Amino acid sequence: MTGLRKWWRLFDSIEAEESRTISQDSLVKRLTSVLDLGALHGSRAVQSGMSPNDFHSFVVLADITRLALGIKRLLHWQPPAKRKRKQVEVPPPEDIKAIYHGIKADWHHAIDRWSQTQQLISGVMAVGSAAGQLPIATPRHGVPKQVNAAHPPLRPEPSISAMVSLSKEKVALVAGLCLWQATVKRLGHVDLLRQDLVESASDQSLPVKAFNISEIAKAIYPNGIDIRSAFHLCLAVGGLNPSVLLELRLDLPEGLQISDDLSSPAASDSQRRLWVLQCCPFLVQSPIDGEYYIEGWKDRSKSWVSRTYKWKQHLTPGPVLVELIIRTWPLRVALNRRLEAARASMKKAIDEGATDDQANGLQQQVLDLTDAVRSVWLYRGMHGITWLTDIDYSTVQPGQSYLQWVTCRLNEVRRAQQKPEIDSMLPRRFRDSYAAWALGYSGGEVLAVMVALDHKRLSTTVGYLENTVVRARIIKKHRFFAQALFGSFASGKLDPTLLALETRYAEKTPEEQTRMALRLVEYREALKSRYGVGCRDPHHPSKLADPTFNADGINICTTHRCTLCHDNAIITPDAYPGLMLRLAELEIEEEGMPVASFAMSSLDAELQNVRTALLPLKEMNPGLLAATVASNKHEIRIGSLRVPGFSVKPL
């Protein structure tokens, strides 16, 4: 349909030009059928810069129609030349990492600012001020101002002791925050303007900076920088599209009520998380403990996108969205109040017989506010409550994007450190970087990248991988692999592990490569215990592993308690099955011994060391670890697995 529209516009422009060049008395021939097509139309299509796909699809349809009408002569038009796809300029991984850390610093700065605000308010309220009341402040000229009887003070005097120890900036901030709370209590909403604060202040003596509404608002709610740092942080982790994040919408509860306990600093992460999960259909708790996945609608492909994360990773979208939703909930309530007023105005205008333009304008305002109330990306801007859209999600000010702002700030530091500067990039380049990472993580599997990016066509995935960074990386890796392979042929010994080692770490110095190769040989030749743990020197075990051992250079250690021997133990992934068996043995031993006896023995230290050695496996596959240990313990208890030194009898 898009291609046909382009052709129709082309035909209209040709007819318009002919009507201007031909005299008024002449009759301009109008294009009414495919039989009227000529060489002029084909050449004008090529000159207009039409894509080969749009050109070819129309010519095919036109030829089919001409054949159906009895004209066997096809349209032999010269098609436009194929356009060479321009390679995407993606910053190198180290630059992406630096930009990510800059975004993370902005988000942490916002979190720290809100935390300090809560501590200031808590400290003042603990002395005597209640919520919505102003603390006493020093008058501007040092003399207390007369208080009008018609406007009594909004705050009690006992809080003066809490203000004395604060700096001037914090005094102004605390006074402004309490003034904000008093205004909210008076008006019943948080959609405040500066004039609202002035009216609440009345004759009160306040610091000069207490009326800076932007400083007050950003101490409580996210501002434009904070919301964009959160958005780009979610964008940088997981390779999501900006459109997918912008389309995240809430299922709002009745009344838009939120418990005060959730917004207090004492609220636990689990309580906040459970409440947010109830109103966020895009955040779903995974059956695996500690994990969740985010589901978003990708409008371009008309499909759902899913990503899995862990709750303990605080910079993934889940924890960031939980903080944002709870932090901005009062703004959502105020925006909903504005929505109800807009609906009432629209109904009143329609009842009074408003024009179509007026009704359409009011209806569009209601639709925009309805969408904004459910949007995740609410924040307090310079002129009130607003939200991110697909137009301004990356812009902090006219002519400058958020990533340009972060990059400029990073380059100032890098220039002082005499480091090369970082080039600015577009937000969608995070997805290209994620594709490059997925390609390397999967060992070069393009299909794995296709699944990671939720693509329906392989050609789309190839478009992401045809960029300068990926091409340079693949060429370099191929060159390193070829050098290592032919070097192995020259030596007469082809070792796949050494080949992978030389390819993966080819950029290291020759001394480091030699040291790694010797370490590999050492691991292979090391004597292993029955648990699969290697030993560098079995003739000299640790005293903790075997206190009675007599080192004579001939006898070797036979205790097989390798995790107690830090100097000699070599733990590789091949030792995981044996370590899981040892974990089962020690846990059974712990169950059968008194707590004090087990804690005083070396078995407790060995148990902790075994668990530490199994941490990588627990991170990769916790289900396998738990199932294998449970199975080993069951076999030991029923007697099918006999362990030396154990006297466990079958039940």
Per-residue pLDDT tens over the stretch 264-280: 767 788 888 988 998 89
CB neighbour burial string for 321-352, b if at least 16 within 10 angstroms, e if fewer = bbbbbbbbbbbbbbbbbbbeebbeebeebeee
Give the helix ranges, DSSP H, for 128-167: 160-164
**What is the spatial distance between Cα 599 and Cα 607, in angstroms, rounded to a whole number?**
10
pLDDT value at position 319?
94
Mean pLDDT of 417-437: 90
Closest CA to 146 of 198, 205, 199: 205
3-state SS record for 415-444: HHCCCCCCCCCCCCHHHHHHHHHHHHHCCC
Helix axis angle for 602-613 and 576-592, nearest 10°, is 150
pLDDT value at position 49?
85
pLDDT value at position 207?
63
Mean pLDDT of 404-414: 94
Element (H, E) at 624: helix 622-638
pLDDT value at position 208?
58
584, amino acid identity: A
pLDDT value at position 87?
66
Element (H, E) at 295: strand 291-298
Q: Checking DSSP bridges between strand 534-535 and strand 527-528, what pairing results, if any?
A: antiparallel
Indicate the range of 56-60, 152-156, 191-195, 635-639 predicted with least confidence. 152-156
Share of the chain above pLDDT 90, in %: 30
End-to-end CA distance of the chain: 75
pLDDT value at position 136?
38
3-class DSSP assignment, residue 220: coil
Is residue 404 classed exposed, middle or buried when 0-12, 13-18 and 19+ CB atoms within 10 A define those classes? middle
CB neighbour burial string for 477-511, b if at least 16 within 10 angstroms, e if fewer = eeebbeebeeebeeeeeeeeebeebbbeeeeeeee
pLDDT value at position 345?
92
pLDDT value at position 320?
95
**What is the spatial distance between Cα 463 and Cα 635, in angstroms, rounded to a whole number?**
53
User: What is the pTM (predicted TM-score) of this model?
Assistant: 0.67
**What is the spatial distance between Cα 582 and Cα 560, in angstroms, rounded to a whole number?**
10
- Whether pLDDT at 134 is above 50: no
Share of the chain above pLDDT 70, in %: 87
Between vectors from CA 59 to CA 58 and to CA 62, what angle results, nearest 5°? 85
User: Per residue in 18-68, pLDDT tens?
Assistant: 777 766 555 556 788 888 888 888 888 888 888 888 898 999 999 999 899
Helix axis angle for 329-351 and 356-374, nearest 10°, is 160
Residue 147 — pLDDT band, cuts 50, 70, 90? very low
Mean pLDDT of 400-425: 92
User: Per residue in 510-559, pLDDT tens?
Assistant: 888 788 888 888 888 888 888 888 888 888 888 888 888 888 888 888 88
User: Per residue in 167-215, pLDDT tens?
Assistant: 777 888 888 888 888 888 888 888 888 888 888 777 566 665 666 888 8
Mean pLDDT of 97-123: 90
